[in-house]
Structure 1
């Protein structure tokens, strides 16, 4: 829409107020309509079953149709063959006299035949109906040249001149004709006796209506059974797909209800298939997420507490700082110490965050003797202690020398923090078949057994800490992170009054991911 000019302006002032088009909020993009997996599975099963059952129906129809055709061919060929054998014999089986004319031959043969209900046998003497008379003619006693014996067929096509003319006038010896009783397959043979002027025809017809009904009935039965089977398959596929995909539906519903504040929802898993495995993995993922969020919240709370303390100290000193130069120097010193402490906390926090990255540890073959010697030289500068190098490992190990040295130095610094000057602190390294070991042992106050697991957590301090200790409680957490990045661990042996021994255990020549 176009806005009106402000009150008190004329048309010439409207140029100062550009036209504004007011638009409402942009519509949300249309979501694509999703097709349920259950429906897709059922549809594919039904489609496949429909194709298979259609093929079965077509193959069945084709097989039955072929058998009907073979039966008709066999019936026609057999009757024609029997007539040929009879004509070649040339004698009457009753009297033994030879045949002298075609009508007698046809009459005698037909008198001894008993055709099936679907068959018709007849003979024709002379020219076909509707044609000009030839040299021969119909014999006495035959109606229009027709000779037929036996029971009544489904339709007497020999009594139909048009059909007889069609059969006898066809250029082929075999063919098909349509009658009121259905389709009839026919075959004819020309009959001629040597020295006799009259010729004739022997014709056999086979009505296929009854056989076609069998074909149609069989095909219809197969189609009906296929339809019922298809319906049953569709129902079964719908039910089975629903059962199989139930965990997936629960996964989707659970994912839709999961929030950062509520990660307690889980899926009931039943079965041993891939879908059940998916649900189990989803539950495991939720466990990891819940643990990660819990650890994150606790980490943020602890970090906030640890950083809030030096900030409060710095602020308090600055607010109370007077004009005395000596006092200012002392305040600056205290503030600098607190800022240094904050810097160390931040560096440790960044190191722990980096420990979750794949490139935190870069393992290469390292000389264990040189690494142990370097560590021994570094720890001796940490404090006035009786440093003793107990053992030096020989050979090489696949590890990150800088990170391992950092972890052992951290353990040594922890020992210095909890022991008195001149106290014995022992360090060393060893190599066994499967692991590389680095240890630091002190004669400090020791750690109660109930605190062995807790002291490796972030911002945790042991109960035996020196009174003046102001560590952030991140050192042992860093040591554990370095050990776990090497797929190793940190072992602790300690008891109150018996000192402590921390051992860094790293797999030997194990590929790190």
Structure 2
């Protein structure tokens, strides 16, 4: 607002200065035109040299001056004066605006000045003048016609007008400043509300929200700010939950190891061997949890997935060969995608193996686990389907969350992990801008599909390249 008022002040000062200069220049131009007109009229009158009423010629310059000056009706700021050859004054009618005829030093300076036009400084102001010398028939000086204009009187009127303009502009500037202060305060009140809300927000309290009113830009800003707070609250909540769950998951194996070490009997080899086995298992589980946590932390990085062109036939065959090592199950290869895909083969293999591992946990030896891949114009899909107990409807969304195992009642031999497997699969899918799909009927198995979208026109470019090569 201060810059706006300063800009307005500069504009007003510029307008005032330019206006005054234009008015003064116009007044001076009018004065010069009036002087030239009077001088030209006298020249024409003197050139004729004949009295139009009697038809007789004027006898001398004095008679000429008296006759011409007596006929003049001038403005208040104009002065007409005649000086005869012997120094006598022929004044104008009425009262002069500036006493020129009564002061010898003034008219004498004009007569003695070799120039025909100039400006005479006086205590009453500047006097712009023009003189016309008169000569007789023999060429001798016979008098001087002087016409002058008191320009300062016009300038003083201009200054009075400018003074009024300055006063009105100053009042207008003050009114504008006050109005700008009030209006800007009303306009920026929502912004100040956002600022105050932001100042009250801390990592312990993210519940502050801004009331959204209207449909203008400020309302849109408030709505976006509230959305940002929602995301921050969700992120901080997830972070706190993650830390709580991680600390709990790591605390459990540590407690088990400590308890077994405290009660181990040194003189019993079998008990020591059992304790060592239990401790090793718990350490292995801790190691897997830490590795999974590190992997999930890496999933937030932009280079988590490095997509490149991969042959889908070879990738599907390699994954199927690795799945048979996960457990004694009947591994069936349902379908093999043909062609190429743009994806990270290592991450996709990791995700599919994790899905297959979950399928092994929830099935018995000899049960069927189906694996396959397919490709369309828009995406590549990998899936793992089992004949286990399936997923309860209330667990369909929860199992994808960190440290969530859903209902463990369906897991064979009570095999339970840290609850990070499906979270890692989801992170890998989202790293490819894809998603994980679950199809299940409780008691009749589950099918997990990894959908990986492909760039628009990718397969058309592949086909065109193959045709060109052929």
TM-score (norm 1): 0.83
Range with greater deviation from structure 2 (316-325 or 437-446)? 316-325
The aligned counterpart of 1:487 is 433
For the pair 1:442 / 2:386, whether they are aligned, the reply is yes
The aligned counterpart of 1:219 is 162
The aligned counterpart of 2:18 is 59
CA distance in 2, matches of 1:503, 1:377: 19
The aligned counterpart of 1:141 is none
Q: Deviations over 1:209-245 (max 9, x none)?
A: 4311221122112212321232233223333443444
The aligned counterpart of 1:429 is 373
CA distance in 1, matches of 2:141, 2:281: 141
Q: Deviations over 1:132-166 (max 9, x none)?
A: xxxxxx3xxxxx51112322222331221111111
Matched-pair contact (CA < 8 Å) for 2:82–2:145: yes
Report the Cα offset of residue 443 of structure 1: 1.6
CA distance in 1, matches of 2:351, 2:187: 50
Within-5 A mapping of 1:391-402 = 391-402=335-346
Corresponding pairs, count: 454
Report the Cα offset of residue 43 of structure 1: 2.0
CA distance in 1, matches of 2:115, 2:385: 114
For the pair 1:89 / 2:48, whether they are aligned, the reply is yes
Report the Cα offset of residue 184 of structure 1: 2.5
Where do 5+ consecutive residues of structure 1 fail to align? Answer: 1-41, 127-137, 139-143
Range with greater deviation from structure 2 (206-215 or 498-507)? 206-215
Within-5 A mapping of 1:50-449 = 50-126=9-85, 138=86, 144-179=87-122, 181-195=124-138, 197-270=140-213, 279-322=222-265, 323-449=267-393
CA distance in 2, matches of 1:371, 1:428: 11
Within-5 A mapping of 1:490-501 = 490-501=436-447
More helix by percentage: 2
Report the Cα offset of residue 264 of structure 1: 1.1
Q: SS state of the match for residue 359, structure 1?
A: coil
The aligned counterpart of 1:502 is 448
Matched-pair contact (CA < 8 Å) for 2:439–2:446: yes
Matched-pair contact (CA < 8 Å) for 1:397–1:509: no
Matched-pair contact (CA < 8 Å) for 1:119–1:207: yes
Q: SS state of the match for residue 473, structure 1?
A: coil
Q: SS state of the match for residue 460, structure 1?
A: coil
CA distance in 1, matches of 2:437, 2:149: 99
Matched-pair contact (CA < 8 Å) for 2:133–2:141: no
CA distance in 2, matches of 1:342, 1:495: 33
The aligned counterpart of 1:28 is none
CA distance in 2, matches of 1:241, 1:366: 60
Report the Cα offset of residue 247 of structure 1: 4.2
TM-score (norm 2): 0.90
Q: Deviations over 1:22-56 (max 9, x none)?
A: xxxxxxxxxxxxxxxxxxxx221122111111111
Matched-pair contact (CA < 8 Å) for 1:254–1:266: yes
CA distance in 2, matches of 1:123, 1:202: 5
CA distance in 2, matches of 1:220, 1:458: 78
Report the Cα offset of residue 57 of structure 1: 0.8
Report the Cα offset of residue 286 of structure 1: 2.5
CA distance in 2, matches of 1:74, 1:294: 87
In structure 2, the CA distance between the partners of 1:272 and 1:362, relative to structure 1 (3 Å rule), is farther
In structure 2, the CA distance between the partners of 1:417 and 1:200, relative to structure 1 (3 Å rule), is same
Q: SS state of the match for residue 163, structure 1?
A: helix
Where do 5+ consecutive residues of structure 2 fail to align? Answer: 457-470
Q: SS state of the match for residue 240, structure 2?
A: helix
Matched-pair contact (CA < 8 Å) for 2:327–2:365: yes
Report the Cα offset of residue 75 of structure 1: 0.8
Range with greater deviation from structure 2 (286-295 or 401-410)? 286-295
CA distance in 2, matches of 1:345, 1:149: 117
Report the Cα offset of residue 179 of structure 1: 4.6
Report the Cα offset of residue 366 of structure 1: 2.1
Alignment RMSD (CA, Å): 2.3
